[in-house]
Amino acid sequence: MSNDIFRISEMKDKFEKEDVVTYDKIVEFYKSYEKDVKIGTIKKRIYSLKKKNVIYDFKKGYYKFYNSKSKEKFNINLTGILLLVQIQKYLKKLYPYAKTSIWDTKIVHDFMVHQPFESLCVLEIEKEILNSVYHRMAYDGYNVYLCDNPKSIENLIYKSDMIILKRLTKDAPLIDIGVAVIPKVEKVLIDLFYEERLYITYQGKELQNIFNGIMDKYIINWTTLYRYARNRRVKDRLIEFINAKTHIKIEQ
């Protein structure tokens, strides 16, 4: 598609004074130029506009334009976390069709006042093969700890280079960055909030710092955040926490 088809300049001129643009307004915009344009075509254009970093998802059916003041897309810098890439390759070879997620808690350390001595490498995988993966990784020499019930988390003693292996929550928001499948920023926030015992180092005032720092810096899709919070049954408690403990303005 050419940029003439996208009409990016005209779109920016049209909506320059609007903080948020709805899906319906974008449809109306394209139909004002092409009366018979199909909805499927418009959806493809919206998808392409997001890929071109012209607009981004704010919440379901709502978009914002990128500009010099826009927040960043969430991205995990794997420099210094090469273990994640190694594990991902290892799992891909043994379980090519398994759904996984992997991340390291050091990605939130920049938002904390008191820096933890250690970070956690968290590997999540489908429950059907959880035990199989655990035994295979342990056999192959990985320092892996299986967190498959509340008792196992209570007995957890953190060690250097430990890999926490746990069940991947259904419909967890993930993103494939090529060398690894990682959680979206909304999942990181909800997991830290929900799994207090596992992420005990990141609770209290530090959790407030993490929420404030991440939400100030990165684009948050509020629909994704609320959906995953609802999936983990903490949506109401999350909203209460954000309102009472952070400076973030809640988006409904």
Q: What is the pLDDT of residues 170-200, one digit of tens each?
A: 899 998 888 888 999 999 999 999 999 999 9
- Residue 21: beta bridge partners? 63
- What pLDDT shows up at residue 252? 63
Residue 74 included in any domain: no
Percent of the chain with pLDDT over 90: 51
How many domains in the chain? 2
Are residues 46 and 117 located together in one domain of the fold? no
Are residues 124 and 98 located together in one domain of the fold? yes
Are residues 88 and 28 located together in one domain of the fold? no
Length of the chain in terms of residues written: 252
Are residues 21 and 131 located together in one domain of the fold? no
Which pTM does this prediction carry?
0.80
Are residues 173 and 129 located together in one domain of the fold? yes
Are residues 58 and 176 located together in one domain of the fold? no
Model confidence at 1, pLDDT cuts 50, 70, 90, reads very low
Domain assignment of residue 191, given as a range: 82-245
Q: In the listed set 21, 40, 65, which residue is the last one of a domain according to the structure?
A: 65
Are residues 52 and 86 located together in one domain of the fold? no
Residue 73 included in any domain: no
- How far apart CA 26 and CA 211 sit, in angstroms, is 31
Q: How would you label 42-54 residue by residue, b for 16+ Cβ within 10 Å and e otherwise?
A: beebbeebeeeeb
Are residues 46 and 119 located together in one domain of the fold? no
Q: In the listed set 18, 33, 65, which residue is the last one of a domain according to the structure?
A: 65
Q: Which residues fall within 8 angstroms of residue 3, CB to CB, at 6 or more apart? A: none
Are residues 38 and 113 located together in one domain of the fold? no
Residue 109 included in any domain: yes
CA distances in angstroms from 27 to 15, 54, 59, 97, 107, listed in the order given: 13, 16, 17, 37, 38
- What pLDDT shows up at residue 164? 93
Closest by CA to 231, choosing from 182, 199, 194, is 194
Residue 76 included in any domain: no
Q: Are 190 and 171 in contact (CB under 8 A)?
A: no
Residue 250 included in any domain: no
Residue 251 included in any domain: no
Residue 75 included in any domain: no
Q: In the listed set 17, 34, 65, which residue is the last one of a domain according to the structure?
A: 65
